[in-house]
Structure 1
Amino acid sequence: MWDGDRPFDNRAASSAYDEFYERYLESDDVAVPPAPRIVAYVEALVTRYPDDVDRSVVWASPPVIDEASGLIVHLLMSYSKAEEVSEYAAALSREHGLVCLERKVPAIRRPAR
């Protein structure tokens, strides 16, 4: 998920995601605190699917907020919960005005109606 303009197509979305990921999550520069919309999104997400640092069955890398920086959050889900959680995460991203990209495809994720 990222806070920004919705790209025109999946190719542009993939490029935008790669740029945000490199800038905010792979950078060796000083860590950038997550933007307010990203923080609000993560807080809402973990309200429904809490961080369980000791025995998380949802998150592959808890706490989720540690996967957020600047305008992006990269969600790492356990395989057993990925379908359920990713559907909710996509719907929630829309509510928070964020862009959701499914990296495996890659395609802009639109929640089911």
Structure 2
Amino acid sequence: MSYDLAVWQGDVPSNAREAARTHDLLFDKYLEGDELLPVATAVAEFLAVLTDRWPDRDTGDDTPWASTPLSEGASGPYVYITLAWSSAEVVSAYVANVAKSLGLNCFDPQMRALRSG
């Protein structure tokens, strides 16, 4: 079981409904296609901060990632991250804070709402 988060570069949605719609469009556009696009600079920086804290290696007890490498969920201005359920509360807050510090949007698909940190 995993806990998922989506992070993207772009304007801040005005409400949860707009955030959900934006997430769905970005997921379809950037991850459902045949080919991933080069990752935007801000998203690459975001991933570097995360993997500096928790290395991007195989899943298991010593990592919060449910799926690696994180770059497999990144394309253009968008990244979809899956966290291990056992670490989701602490790690999702960190992910949201890092996203916010870099001017990125963090969306919780389970709650269909933006995360502010």
Per-residue deviation, residues 62-103 of structure 1 (Å, max 9, x unmatched): 111111001101010001111111000000000111000111
Higher relative contact order (CA 8 A, sep 6+): 2
Q: CA deviation at 1:31?
A: 2.2
Q: Does 1:50 align with 2:65?
A: no
The range that moved more, 56-65 or 83-92, is: 56-65
Percentage identity across aligned positions?
34
The range that moved more, 59-68 or 11-20, is: 59-68
The aligned runs of 1:78-97 (5 Å cut-off) are 78-97=84-103
Query: 1:11 maps to which residue?
Result: 17
Q: Which consecutive unaligned segments of at least 5 residues does structure 2 have? A: 1-6
Per-residue deviation, residues 11-52 of structure 1 (Å, max 9, x unmatched): 000000111100000112x32111111000000011112112
Q: Which consecutive unaligned segments of at least 5 residues does structure 1 have? A: none
Read off the aligned partner of 1:35 and give its amino acid letter. Answer: A
Q: Distance in 2 between matches of 1:107 and 1:62?
A: 24
Higher strand share: 2
Task: Write out the 4+ residue segments of structure 1 that deviate beyond 2 Å after TM superposition.
Answer: 54-57
Q: CA deviation at 1:58?
A: 1.0
Q: Distance in 1 between matches of 2:78 and 2:66?
A: 17
Query: 2:4 maps to which residue?
Result: none
With the length of structure 2 as denominator, give the TM-score of the two structures: 0.89
The range that moved more, 3-12 or 49-58, is: 49-58
Query: 1:64 maps to which residue?
Result: 70
Aligned residues: 110
RMSD between aligned alpha carbons?
1.2
